[in-house]
Amino acid sequence: MGLGQLLYRYVRRRQFIESFSVRQLFADPTQVDSRWLESLLEGAKDLQSRYAVFSFLAGFWREDYTAAIESIKQPTLVVWGEKTSSINRESIAETIQEPEKTYVQHLPQAQVCTVKGRNVLPFESPSDLVKVITEWNN
């Protein structure tokens, strides 16, 4: 078994998923409930899902997508959690204002709004998220 497979087996454990969710994903740790954990554990059963994890851990998310973002011509809604955590390409933690400013700068047809939560808004603030999407869509 390769190192990557061993790493994936480690990160897909309930204890790791719960700890990571509390530290990195949710603004309110009490929202890391059995529904959230069970959905991630179910998804982790498929070993093919490891490629998404490896891509994330390898820093794929730090790629420069400026040109792709700038090419989006249709109106776009960007929703942030008020306690969103972000790490830039240099692996430095950013405040919410930094990535938000970048989106506005490179996606001028976007509307940016903030709702309660951190990084998994459909789980943290589903009604707030539905409200801003509905208002934007009307």
Q: Which domains does the chain have, with CATH numbers?
A: 3-58 (no CATH), 62-137 (3.40.50.1820)
pTM score of the predicted model: 0.75
Q: In angstroms, what CA-CA distances link 112 with 84, 98, 120, 132, 134?
A: 13, 13, 16, 10, 14
Cα–Cα distance for residue pair 136/120, rounded to 1 Å: 20
Q: Residue holding tokens 């938000």? A: 100
Per-residue pLDDT reduced to its tens digit, 29-50: 999 999 999 999 998 888 787 7
pLDDT value of residue 7? 81
Bridge partner residues of 113 (DSSP): 79
pLDDT value of residue 34? 95
* Two structure tokens written together for 32: 């890391």
Using CB atoms within 10 A of its CB, is residue 3 exposed (0-12), middle (13-18) or buried (19+)?
exposed
Do 107 and 69 touch, CB atoms closer than 8 A? yes
Higher pLDDT, 46 or 130: 130
Higher pLDDT, 9 or 97: 9
Q: Is the dihedral of CA 132, 136, 137, 138 positive or negative?
A: positive
Cα–Cα distance for residue pair 107/66, rounded to 1 Å: 9
